[in-house]
Structure 1
């Protein structure tokens, strides 16, 4: 299941839970109203028989209501995907039931037929709204049609209730349409924000990453080195800087072409990324020159890592150069606490010069 569909399902389940809670609150309110009618109103109305009202108009509908609510709770817990349809069906069943029991006593009883329409609007689905409208209309018409003695007042009341239901339905359609438009606008805004976020990340990567090798570039190296030196002053920890230069790189370009030189740079960068630890930092400083910041426990440990890297590069043939190898010369320096960035870089650069002057393809510590 993809993330958007899962997110939509979770939102629906949350709404189902909210509607179930509303139904429980409605049940408590209805029960309190029934008790009020039984205790206060029924004794004052001759047509009300207390015991008959208690058994017929309270016990039966409340038992059915409780049964339906238990079924809904079980469905929501064990069959969450069917909970939405179950709630719509239950809202219609409950409204029809209370309409049946209240219609004999109260002229305003048909108003309960609006309840499933209101529930269907919450789900923003037109099919629920049309189904609820159709069934509520049939129940209302059937009740008045089979009522036996129908007066002009009854017909007028039925027509007024039909008008109320259709007004509620058209209002619900307008709400659903407006809600759909807002959702579409929100999706567009989110999509635009996501595209902008991706563009920002790509721009930041373009600014900080060398496009050829995939390593950090000259700018990001200096920013990271400055941050490391500032942290080292606050909480001393070892830092080593290594400057690496591909030997005879101009000869590689002149002999095999610049495209082969680019491949040699990429292969050297891949070796660097494969041999340094996660806390190390590697960058292409410019041309055929790379720089590495390490945080190993002592310069000897850093030297062993750099030596493995140097040997790995020297043992990696390049098919585009007739399976020949390139070698690198490296200068390594342990950065002391309080040492400036310029001085540390100069020390490593001098060590690199020694490696170059003493035959290349070697590592010199300064």
Structure 2
């Protein structure tokens, strides 16, 4: 990931360097025209050919070659091609304007460019290019009016400049390593926090939300209902005769039953519904954003799939569930939950394996009274 980011930024900086080279060419042409207009004693035709036309053509050939390189060469060679391009451009500038005092300092440009890559190898390569350009001018250009002592001084200046560049590159590498270390540490911490948050909110056996998270979520959904009128229903699901499963087949079999029932309930619930293990063999489902009739159809499908499923270690024994269901009626969480729990109790006490709606349980209780 870090290398991919580095490759992306390298490509972006290479493009910026190329844009800078084009701007440099534009500035050189502008300065030469200003020199032609206000300073030079040379004839316009001679000055134009020697100081504008020739260097512009040479620069254009270098820049076109560099553009080709950054598009079609490998990533590694692109960087070196731009260093070569910077060396050739400065060599042309110094060669054409050799009579200007101290213009040879422009030969330091490749060293400056190498800093952008934070690579000691590229810095050394840039130093070689600078020295090569400098001594080519010294030995092959008779117009260069610099003594041997001056050459040694310029070489020493280039060495000092390279030491500063090396320090910048080294510091940049340290900062990059620190960034990588910090990013990885933060990623690991985020993963650990996510895992801890999940462990704190979910039941380890069924991987459903736990009792505490259920109540937190129900509080929020009731507030949302009060603010927006969003439909809200609650179902409490209890596995029938679960104690006899543990007694007859063992707790390991009971755990497998709980896991499978939880998987069926979670698979049938919608994306916006909330499924939790409320406690023991009891599950809770909060339905949102749909009519109560549709939620009841989902519960019926859950009940059918649970009763028709095959459970490991139970042989031919079938598992059924009793369900209490109620729609929220602006009554507060406590009364909402109590009505649903009463409906569940009515479902279990009236024969199990059935769904009782809270209103039906209230009617049945009133009739009994």
The normalised TM-score by structure 2 is 0.89
Show the counterpart of 1:242. 235
- Of 239, 248, 261, the residue aligned with 2:254 is 261
Q: Deviations over 1:214-251 (max 9, x none)?
A: 11111111111111111212222321111001111122
- Shift in Å, 1:78: 6.3
Whole-Å Cα distance in 1 between the matches of residues 325 and 236 of structure 2? 7
Q: Which moved more, 1:321-330 or 1:52-61?
A: 321-330
Are residues 183 and 362 of structure 1, via their aligned partners in 2, closer, same or farther at CA, if it must alter by over 3 Å? same
- Of 331, 353, 361, the residue aligned with 2:345 is 353
**Alpha-carbon contact 1:328-1:362 (below 8 Å) kept:** yes
Are residues 92 and 192 of structure 1, via their aligned partners in 2, closer, same or farther at CA, if it must alter by over 3 Å? same
- Of 71, 96, 105, the residue aligned with 1:101 is 96
- Shift in Å, 1:73: 4.0
SS of residue matched to 2:40: helix
Are residues 80 and 146 of structure 1, via their aligned partners in 2, closer, same or farther at CA, if it must alter by over 3 Å? closer
SS of residue matched to 1:321: coil
- Shift in Å, 1:77: 5.5
| 2:81 matches 1:86 | yes
**Alpha-carbon contact 1:217-1:285 (below 8 Å) kept:** yes
SS of residue matched to 1:163: helix
- Shift in Å, 1:298: 3.3
Whole-Å Cα distance in 1 between the matches of residues 143 and 89 of structure 2? 26
The normalised TM-score by structure 1 is 0.90
Are residues 32 and 10 of structure 1, via their aligned partners in 2, closer, same or farther at CA, if it must alter by over 3 Å? same
Whole-Å Cα distance in 2 between the matches of residues 295 and 144 of structure 1? 84
Whole-Å Cα distance in 1 between the matches of residues 182 and 84 of structure 2? 35
Whole-Å Cα distance in 1 between the matches of residues 142 and 336 of structure 2? 103
- Segments of structure 1 that go 5 or more residues without pairing to the other structure are none
Show the counterpart of 2:361. none
- Of 36, 41, 59, the residue aligned with 1:65 is 59
- Segments of structure 2 that go 5 or more residues without pairing to the other structure are 359-369
- Shift in Å, 1:49: 5.6
Whole-Å Cα distance in 1 between the matches of residues 331 and 232 of structure 2? 11
- Of 36, 55, 63, the residue aligned with 1:38 is 36
Are residues 213 and 224 of structure 1, via their aligned partners in 2, closer, same or farther at CA, if it must alter by over 3 Å? same
Q: Deviations over 1:15-44 (max 9, x none)?
A: 12221222223222222322233333322x
- Of 2, 5, 8, the residue aligned with 1:7 is 5
Are residues 323 and 133 of structure 1, via their aligned partners in 2, closer, same or farther at CA, if it must alter by over 3 Å? farther
Are residues 120 and 149 of structure 1, via their aligned partners in 2, closer, same or farther at CA, if it must alter by over 3 Å? closer
- Shift in Å, 1:76: 4.4
SS of residue matched to 1:364: strand
Are residues 296 and 154 of structure 1, via their aligned partners in 2, closer, same or farther at CA, if it must alter by over 3 Å? closer
Show the counterpart of 2:137. 143
Q: Deviations over 1:235-293 (max 9, x none)?
A: 22321111001111122122222222111111111001111111111100011110011
- Shift in Å, 1:8: 2.3
**Alpha-carbon contact 1:240-1:296 (below 8 Å) kept:** no
Query: Matches of residues 8-27 of structure 1 in structure 2 within 5 Å?
Result: 8-27=6-25
**Alpha-carbon contact 1:13-1:80 (below 8 Å) kept:** no
Aligned length: 357
SS of residue matched to 1:132: helix
